[in-house]
Amino acid sequence: MKVNNMTSNKIKSHHKRNEGIPFDANLFKDITINRSAVERRAATLSGRRSVKKQWQAAWLLKALSCIDLTTLAGDDTKSNVHRLCAKAQSPVRYDLLKAMEMEDADITVAAVCVYHNLISDAVEALGDSNIPIAAVSTGFPAGNIPLKEKIKQIELSVAAGATEIDIVVSRNLVLQSDWKGLYEEVAACRKACGEAHMKTILATGEIPTYSKVAKASWVSMMAGSDFIKTSTGKESINATIPVSLVMIRAIREYHELTGYKVGFKPAGGISKAKQALNWLILIKEELGDEWLNPELFRFGASSLLGDIERQLEHYVTGRYSASFRHPMA
Amino acid sequence: MKIKEIYETMSYGPAPESADEAIQFLESHKREFKLFINGKWVKPSSNEYFETINPCTKEVLAKISEANETDVNKAVTAAKKALPEWVSIGAHKRARYLYALARQIQKHSRLFAVLESLDNGKPIRETRDIDIPIVARHFYHHAGWAQLRDTELKDYKEVGVIGQIIPWNFPLMMLAWKIAPAIAMGNTVVLKPAEYTPLTALLFAEIC
C-alpha cells in the first residue's frame, strides 16, 4: 500500500468551505425520521466491526487528532488554559509515539476550545504552533441572548484570535419550527465569522424529535455552517450515536445536493477510547474515509484524550496505567 | 502493517474468528465422519466417502460418508422404531425436548457459527448474528407449538417417519426449519444434509 504524505492537523487550504445556499423549505419540510430504524442501525453498527492491535492504535491516534480539546468551566483560569494548550501540542508521550514509529507524524489535537475571555491566554500559550483556537460564542450554552449581541460576541472572539467559532442556535426557533428565523440567525453568525470556521451547535438533547434534528441540521447547513455539532456538553443528554446518525445522513444528503462537505462534531459525554472508535466507525460507514480527518470530523472532549493515551500506553507496553498517570489535559 | 500506514488509510484490520474449537471437533472424528443412525455413529455400508471443503481456501475439511440404500433403510427402520414412544410421551414432553434442543444450540452457538462459516463459506457475521440465533429461536418457537398440539391443534396428527433433504445455502437453518416442526408434531426424521455443507448437521446430531 502506498503511503501518502502525512497530512497535518492544520485546516487544509484546498478544502472548499460550505458557502451555504438560499433558504428553501421544500428541501427539508417533508423529512420524517424512522426512530426505530435509526436506533437499530445505531445499535448494530459498532458490533459489526472490530478494530484491534495496530489498527486500534492507529485509529486512536486518528481520534486524538480530531479532538477539540476543551475546557468550558466556570473556574477556568489562565493556568488551566496554559496546561490545556501544552497538552494539545504534545498529546502523547514521546516514548510512546517513538515505539509506534509515529514520532515525526506531527500528532497534535485538532484545536483547543475555550470561552471567549480565555482566548488571549490560549493565543499566548499556543504561540506559533498552528493549532487553531475555537471559541464558544453567542451566549453559550443556552444561546438566549439577542442576535445583535451574538454577532458582537463572534466579532470580538474573531478579533481576539479565534479561528473557529462554535455557535449555539436559539432552541426556541427550532422548537417553534421557525426555520426561516433559524436560517437568518445562523447566516448572520456565519457572516460575522468571516474567515473563521463556524460550528453550529444544535443542542440535540433539547430537541424532542429526530425529524426536528434533521430539519435543524438542514437549515444550519443551508445557512453556511462549516460543521454541525450535537451538543454544548451542558445539556442532560449529549452526543448519542442515534442522533449523530440522523445528522450525518443530513450531511450526506446535503453533500449530494450541493457538493459541499459539511463537518460533524459530536460533543459531550465522550470520555472513553472505545466510544471514540465507535464514532469513527459510524463516520467511516456513513460518510466514508474522506470525512475521517480533522477538517471534517471533530470530537468535543476533554477527558477522552487521557483515556486514549492510556490505551496507547497499553498497546506499547502491554500494561495499563492508573488513570492519573498521564498528565491532565 | 505499520501504524503510520493505517493512520493514513484508516482501513479496518482483519478480525478473524478463532477456528480452534471447530477444528477440534473435526479432529475428534479424525476428519472422517460416519453416518449417524439410531443415536450412534456407524460406518457406511458402501464404504465410500467424499470430501467437504472450505470454499474460501479449497482446503479439505473432512471426509463424509456416502449412504447407500442399505444405510437409508437402516435409518428409516430406526426412525420407525422410535416413533411409537415419541408419540406416546405426549405434547408436553416433546415440548421439553425441543426446548432442550434450543438450549443446546445456544450453548454451542459460537462453535456452530464458526463451523457453518468454514463449511459454507458465508461470513461469520451471517452465521453468528443471523443464522444460528434464528435456529435457536426456531426450536423455541416450535417447542411452543409442540406444547399446544393436544389443545390448540387437535386436528394435527403425526404422519410417521419423514425423509428430509436440505440445501447448502442456509445449512443449519434449513435443518431447523425441517426438523423442528416435524418432531414438534410427533414425527421422527431421517435427514440428508447437502453434500456441500454437511458439517453442522453432523455436529447437531452429535450434540443433540
Domain that holds residue B59: 3-207
Task: Confirm if B118 and B23 have CB atoms less than 8 A apart.
Answer: no
Give the whole-number percent of chain B exceeding pLDDT 90. 96
Is A61–B8 a contact, with Cβ atoms under 8 angstroms apart?
no
A56-98 confidence digits (pLDDT tens): 999 999 999 999 999 999 999 999 999 999 999 999 999 999 9
Q: What is the pLDDT of residues A11-44, one digit of tens each?
A: 444 579 999 999 999 999 999 999 999 999 999 8
Q: pLDDT band at A45, cuts 50/70/90?
A: confident
Separation in Å, CA of A281 to nearest CA in chain B:
9
- Helix/strand/coil for B34: coil
On whether any CB of chain A is under 8 Å from the CB of B10, the answer is: yes
Given a cut of 50, whether residue A2 has pLDDT beyond it is no
Mean pLDDT of B121-134: 94
**Mean pLDDT, chain A, whole residue set:** 92
pLDDT score for A329: 64
pLDDT band at A4; cut points 50, 70, 90: very low
Q: Cβ atoms within 10 A of the Cβ of A128, count?
A: 5
Q: Which residue has the higher pLDDT, B13 or B182?
A: B182
- Put simply, whether B18 touches A (Cβ < 8 Å) is no
How far apart CA B125 and CA B102 sit, in angstroms, is 20
* pLDDT tens by residue, A93-134: 999 999 999 999 999 999 999 999 999 999 999 998 999 999
Cβ-Cβ contacts under 8 Å, A3 against chain B:
4-5, 8
Tens digit of pLDDT for each residue in A139-157?
999 999 999 999 999 999 9
Q: Region B147-174: what's the mean pLDDT? A: 96
C-alpha cell read off for B132:
444460528
- Helix, strand and coil content of chain B, in percent to the nearest 5, comes to 55, 15, 30
Look up residue B162 and give its three cell numbers: 419423514
What confidence tier does A322 reach under pLDDT thresholds 50, 70, 90? confident
Mean pLDDT, residues A38-58 = 90
Q: How far is A119 from chain B (nearest CA, A)?
A: 31
pLDDT of residue B1: 85
Q: Is A145 on the interface with B (CB under 8 A)?
A: no
The DSSP annotation for A195-247 comes to TSEEEEE--GGG---HHHHHHHHHHHHHTT-SEEE---S-SSS---HHHHHHH
As a whole number of angstroms, the distance between CA A138 and CA B84 comes to 81
Q: Is the pLDDT of residue A7 over 50?
A: no
Task: Please check whether residue A288 is in contact with residue A44, taking contact to mean a CB–CB distance below 8 angstroms.
Answer: no
- CB nearest to A3's CB, from B5, B10, B125: B5
Q: Which residue(s) pair with B161 in the sheet?
A: B188
Do the strands A227-229 and A263-265 form a parallel or antiparallel pair, or are they unpaired? Answer: parallel
Q: What is the pLDDT of residue B47?
A: 94
Average of per-residue pLDDT values in chain B: 96
- Residues A167-225 pLDDT 10s: 999 999 999 999 999 999 999 999 999 999 999 999 999 999 999 999 999 999 999 99
Q: For position B17, what pLDDT does the model report?
A: 84
Question: Which of B3, B4, B10 is closest, CB to CB, to A284?
Answer: B10
Query: For A121, left (φ over 0), alpha (ψ -120 to 50), or beta?
Result: alpha
Set of cell numbers at residue A315: 498497546
pLDDT number for residue A8: 41
Question: Band of the pLDDT at B16, cuts 50, 70, 90?
Answer: confident
User: From CA A219, how far away is CA A203, in angstroms rounded?
Assistant: 14
Region B18-35: what's the mean pLDDT? Answer: 96
Q: Measure the CA–CA gap between A301 and A266, rounded to whole angstroms.
A: 9
**Minimum-distance CB partner of A101 among B4, B10, B11:** B4
User: Does residue A10 surpass a pLDDT of 70?
Assistant: no
Within 8 A of A48 by CB-CB distance, chain B residues are 125
Closest CB to A101: pick one of B2, B10, B15.
Answer: B2
Q: How would you classify the pairing of strands A164-168 and A197-201? A: parallel
Alpha carbon dihedral A234, A240, A245, A251, in 10-degree steps, equals 20
Kindly indicate the confidence band of residue A323, based on its pLDDT and cuts at 50, 70 and 90: confident
Which residue of A9, A45, A46, A53 is the best one to mutate when testing the B interface, meaning the one whose CB has the most B CBs within 10 A? A53
Report how far residue A139's alpha carbon sits from residue A141's, in angstroms, rounded to the nearest whole number.
6
pLDDT at A160: 96
Chain A residue with minimum CA distance to B17: A50
Chain A, residues 99-138, CB within 8 A of chain B, namely 100-102, 105
For residue B65, the cross-strand partners are: B49
C-alpha cell at B154: 387437535
Pairs of CB atoms within 8 A across A/B:
59
Query: What average pLDDT does the segment A226-235 reach?
Result: 95
CATH superfamily of A25-317: Aldolase class I (3.20.20.70)
CATH number, domain of B88, equals 3.40.605.10
Listed in sequence order, the residues at least 6 apart from A231 whose beta carbon sits closer than 8 Å to its beta carbon are A201, A202, A203, A204, A205, A237, A238, A239, A266, A267, A268, A300
CA proximity to A189, closest of A239, A145, A255, A247: A145
Q: pTM value?
A: 0.75
Question: What average pLDDT does range A280-295 have in this prediction?
Answer: 96
CB contact under 8 A, B15 and A289: no
Contact B95, B197 (CB under 8 A): no
Residue B125 and residue A48: Cβ atoms within 8 Å?
Answer: yes
